[in-house]
Structure 1
Amino acid sequence: MGIDDLVNKGKDFLEQNRDQISNTLSSEKAEGPSDKTLDAAAEFVKKVAPDSVDAKVDEVRNAADRRVGNE
């Protein structure tokens, strides 16, 4: 099985389960873990990137947060 096969299986899975995935991502259960993950990713980027991009990192983190969870 090559990488193309894996990608296609992932696409098929996403298409077949789109509604359930969407409902799960916008649930209250997703809010806490997603916040922790987004916070950790943002902090990592801020540590390795120049300080001049901190505001943009926060902007991207907040945009992603609006798409996952219920807050």
Structure 2
Amino acid sequence: LMKIVIAEKPSVGRELAKVFGATTRKDGYIEGKGYSFTWAFGRIVRVVYHPASIFHQTDTHRNDGCCTRSKIYTTLVEDG
């Protein structure tokens, strides 16, 4: 069973992979020794506050750059 580690940014993901001895680079992740290391680019979802709302309404908005990363996460989970 592959363990998946999602780091907050690429440099952290690469450093974690190095520490754990994972050296096989794939498209968007690094794997080895029972681990897959991938990373995010900023926030995947952000909350937008509407100050004019009497009920302090918030909306969530998807980060448009997250789609590719989401596909990688999904593939790793399904294959893991």
TM-score > 0.5, shorter chain as reference: no
Give the structure with the larger strand fraction.
2
Relative to the length of structure 2, the TM-score reads 0.27
Give the structure with the larger helix fraction.
1
Relative to the length of structure 1, the TM-score reads 0.28
